[in-house]
Amino acid sequence: MSGYGLRALGWLAAAMVVTVVLLMGFGLPQEDPKQEATGTVPSGGGKATFEIEKDDPRNPSGNRFTGKRFDKAVNVTLNSVVFRSSGQDLTTAGTYIEMASRLMEPALLALAVRGRINR
């Protein structure tokens, strides 16, 4: 593989590295949001109704570049290359980073394949 396709693969790799770094720095929440169930039990018995809520993801305040965060960022990035949602809870910035990578990275992958097929 050489020429146009190789350059496109290089740009894809560079875009993926940038996406991982941005997700580690700004896109992953400090902790995974916990689900909390609250409800009331009627005094005479009967049905109990519970409401499950999730906290909004918060930006990290401590060390952003750890092995655990790297693993999550790589997972989100690799899923974005093939147009799949990672299902990971992301901050608002992380959601926009993932959307941009889901648009840009598959296009770079297609250019790499197209460059290889044209030769």
Instruction: Compute the distance between CA of residue 57 and CA of residue 117 in angstroms, rounded to an integer.
Output: 43
* Percentage of residues of the chain with pLDDT beyond 70: 69
Mean pLDDT in the chain? Answer: 77
Strand partners, 33: none
Per cent of the chain over pLDDT 90 is: 3
Q: pLDDT, tens digit, for every residue of 60-99?
A: 777 888 888 888 888 888 877 766 666 778 888 888 888 8
Confidence band, pLDDT 50/70/90 cuts, at residue 1: very low
- Torsion, Cα of 97, 22, 90, 13 (10° steps): 70
Helix-, strand-, coil-residue percentages of the chain, each rounded to 5: 55, 10, 35
Q: Which two tokens stand for residue 63?
A: 């060390």
